[in-house]
Structure 1
Amino acid sequence: MYESILFPTDGSEAADAALDHAVDHARQYDATLHVLFVAQDDLGPSGLIHEEHDDVEQSDMVGDHDETQSSGMTNEDSERMGFIAEHGEAVVSEVADAVGDEVPVETAVLSGAPYERILDYADEESADLIVMGTHGRTGVDRYLLGSVTEKVVRTADIPVLTVRTPEQ
């Protein structure tokens, strides 16, 4: 039934809660588990990785740019994306190590809008199932922060198994 299962992770508790389900399904169906981390490249006010920089003047953001800045990204943004990508590599490696030899594992770190990259990756790898955690936000928190999981559930062409973070 399932040959390829996608497990998007951000290294959070919510993702960790879903890992056992992803591994169980992969083991039960002898499927490959794809572990994916997406480094969100939107560093603007709506991005969860955005930080306010009141001390940065506008003049610090324009002027001489090297080739890595052709996208409009400042050196600081480029360094932050590099750090996030390194973090992503550590996250997917940690998951692969935790899974061990239980099931075949493939890892990937991509950048972009998380829900879009998750769906693109699922399509590219012919995933049959997406297993992901949810923070269980409701009301204003969900409205303001948005939900990658919710967007994936609403737009995916394949089944999405969501696992809510256990209550503490």
Structure 2
Amino acid sequence: MYDDILIPTDGSETISETLAHGLPIAEQNDATVHGLYVVDSRITAAATDETGPELERSLEDEGEDAVAAVADDAAASDLETVSEVRKGTPSKTILEYADEHGIDLIVIGTRGKSPREKVVSLGSVSERVVDNAEIPVFVVRDAGAGE
């Protein structure tokens, strides 16, 4: 049913809960797990000329670590993995990646932001992915959200 499953990560603790749901689905379907981290171009664009390149390198390094963690967990379950770090707007980039790679399912975590937090951050990435995806999206709420 699912040959390719995308598990986007932002490097936060929510990935543990997301993987706890996404990897069993991948195992049951012998699917390839795609780990994706998006360096938010809005953040790097807002940086000064002096700090911009350093910030971008830092975020890229964080992204490499984040997708490596996804790949390590998937490999421990004997699943094939693909990892990538891209630059862009997170929700759009996730959907573009899914389209380019023939992804069958997106498993994405959410931190359960309050309405105020959503306004400040212009909504949530997971909400925008759900609203705009043409494929199934499995949203995993962080068990520690709202504490």
58, 69, 82: which one aligns with 1:83:
58
Which residue of the partner structure matches residue 118 of structure 1? 94
- By how many angstroms is 1:79 displaced? 1.5
Q: Which one has the largest radius of gyration? A: 1
Q: How much does 1:43 deviate?
A: 2.2
Over the residues paired in the alignment, what is the CA RMSD in angstroms?
1.8
Distance 1:151 1:16 in 2: 21
Q: CA deviation at 1:40?
A: 0.5
Among 151, 154, 168, the residue aligned to 2:128: 151
8 Å CA contact 1:130–1:161 kept in 2: the answer is yes
Task: Please say if 1:106 is aligned against 2:96.
Answer: no
Pair 1:20-2:20 in alignment? yes
| Per-residue CA distance 1:111-139 (angstroms, 9 max, x = gap) | 11000100000000100000010011122
Paired amino acid for 1:89: E
2:114 pairs with one of 138, 144, 151? 138
Q: More helix by proportion, 1 or 2? A: 2
SS in 2 for 1:100: helix
Q: TM-score, length-normalised on structure 1?
A: 0.79
| Residue matched to 2:43 | 43
Find the residue that maps to 1:11 and give its secondary structure.
coil
Q: Which residue identity is paired with 1:117? A: T
Q: Which runs of 5+ in 1 are unaligned?
A: 52-60, 62-73
CA contact (8 A) 2:14 2:142 kept: yes
Q: Name the CA distance, whole Å, in 2 between partners of 1:156 and 1:9.
A: 17
What TM-score do you get using the length of structure 2 for normalisation? 0.90
Match of 2:142 in 1: 165
User: What is the identity percentage for the equivalent residue pairs of Structure 1 and Structure 2?
Assistant: 38
Q: Counterparts of 1:30 and 1:134 in 2: how far apart (Å)?
A: 25
